[in-house]
């Protein structure tokens, strides 16, 4: 199955329990990476990869995500009248370049169930899936989703992003195994979710980005609920792998998990240090903090 990948699905319905109590009232996808919410980075990655239509899957109480991508006329008027042209352009460009629509996952029955809701939206063509609480920073001209689309164009079937993970951390992720077709491109033969130490089929873990053909939907319908009575996307992906219809692409980039407290803090520090107007002050304060910690330990 071939065709241009012009549609993307962004699941954003989870509770965000790893970031409580902050996410009690604020969607985890709106946690800031410096001064921009995570899901905005995700949408921008999709658009930069050639995506033209985006479906964001929400749950009740996450209407703030819709508000973020909707126009804010009063704010825009205030910025315009006060001469803050640069900031006005930044605000009005949010989400520009794609048509964004929304659907609600009424019961939070897992990532697989969320993706299943996108069947009508996806139609008969391929589509990308980008998890809404994870930023992937590309090292190349192609965004990570664009890298997957390129691999899909080569192999013609579903593709998952993977990254090399230290052995001691593999038990946190879904891990793939298979045969390499090209450098960085694997035909997946097996997947193990959170493997026990010493049982992982490789060091490559699934990395929050996918391109699926419509074959994923019958696989999801055939997937019974698993842990916590949820439909696991990885279980459906195993069915594709068993039929030789799943590839993995090692990302040329880095993943930032903003859904965890440690990931949120370290990513904010790293991204802030890239900003010339912030780097100097932050470096100075970090040096003070670290020096104090060292002296307190003595």
Instruction: Return the half-sphere exposure (C-beta side, CA atoms, 13 A cut-off) of residue 164.
Output: 4
Residue spans of the chain under pLDDT 70: 1-2, 298
Q: How much is the pLDDT for 3? A: 73
Q: What is the pLDDT of residue 1?
A: 46
For residue 16, the model assigns a pLDDT of 83
7-259: CATH topology: Spore Coat Polysaccharide Biosynthesis Protein SpsA; Chain A (3.90.550)
pLDDT attached to residue 15: 84
Distance from C-alpha of 97 to C-alpha of 123, rounded to nearest angstrom: 21
For residue 156, what pLDDT is reported? 94
The answer for residues whose C-beta is within 8 angstroms of residue 277's C-beta and 6 or more apart is: none
**DSSP 8-state symbol, 234:** H
Handedness of CA 265, 266, 271, 275 (dihedral sign): positive
pLDDT (0 to 100) of residue 2: 53
CA dihedral (134, 139, 142, 146) in degrees, to 10, reads: -30
The domains of the chain are located at 7-259, 260-298
pLDDT per residue over 271-291, tens digit each? 999 999 999 999 999 999 999
- Cβ–Cβ < 8 Å for 39, 10: yes
């Amino acid at each position: 199955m071939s065709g241009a990948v012009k549609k993307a699905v962004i699941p954003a319905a989870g509770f965000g329990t790893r970031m409580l109590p902050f996410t009690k009232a604020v969607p985890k996808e709106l946690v800031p990476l410096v001064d921009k919410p995570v899901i905005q980075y995700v949408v921008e990655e999709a658009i930069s990869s050639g995506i033209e239509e985006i479906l964001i899957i929400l749950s009740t109480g996450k209407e703030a995500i819709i508000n973020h991508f909707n126009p804010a006329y009063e704010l825009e008027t205030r910025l315009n009248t006060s001469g803050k042209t640069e900031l006005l352009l930044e605000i009005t460009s949010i989400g520009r370049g794609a048509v964004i629509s929304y659907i609600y996952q009424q019961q939070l029955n897992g990532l697989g169930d969320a993706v299943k809701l996108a069947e009508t939206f996806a139609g008969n063509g391929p589509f990308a899936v980008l998890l809404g609480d994870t930023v992937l920073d590309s090292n190349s001209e192609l965004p990570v989703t664009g890298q997957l689309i390129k691999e899909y164009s080569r192999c013609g079937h579903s593709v998952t992003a993977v990254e090399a993970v230290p052995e001691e951390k593999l038990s946190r992720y879904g891990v793939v195994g298979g045969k390499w077709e090209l450098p960085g491109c694997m035909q997946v033969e097996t997947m193990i979710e959170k493997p026990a130490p010493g049982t992982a089929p490789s060091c490559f873990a699934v990395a929050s980005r996918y391109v699926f053909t419509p074959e994923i939907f019958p696989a999801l319908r055939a997937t019974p609920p698993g842990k916590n009575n949820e439909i696991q996307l990885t279980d459906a992906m195993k069915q594709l792998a068993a039929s030789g219809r799943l590839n993995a692409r090692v990302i040329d980039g880095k993943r930032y998990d903003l859904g965890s407290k440690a990931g949120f803090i370290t990513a904010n520090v790293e991204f802030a240090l890239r900003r010339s107007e912030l780097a100097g002050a932050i470096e100075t304060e970090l040096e003070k903090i670290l020096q104090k910690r060292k002296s307190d330990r003595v």
